Structure 1
Amino acid sequence: MARTVIDLDEATVAEVMEIFGTTVKAQAVRAALEDVVKRRRRQVGIDMLKSGELLIEDQKAGTETDTA
């Protein structure tokens, strides 16, 4: 894990700590970053389902749809 020094807004960090139930700033930042990545991945999946690029049946079978 890389160590990075950044300036953070204290009020925002406190809110993030409350949201994720953490008592350490580093834990809060990691939790927030992980949450952002998970939300983005979910949204990409939803967008793929909406566009027809990904079919639920393909995921159940463990296969990938070839859209080419």
Structure 2
Amino acid sequence: MTMDFVNKIMNVAFPPAGLLFLSFIAPPYYFSKYICSVFRRFTSENVRGKVVLVTGASSGIGE
């Protein structure tokens, strides 16, 4: 009986709380990811003299 009550409370309270939480967390998170991706586009890492492992390529390497 008490578990049914707890489940009903959780079913009513958690979805709005989760949406409210995500509405405050998601925008800054995605904005920071966007800024990082823009920053990475204009900066490149110099790999001259380093070992680079290329994965996922089935053909076209070295042609």
TM-score for the superposition, normalised by structure 1: 0.37
* Bigger CA radius of gyration: 2
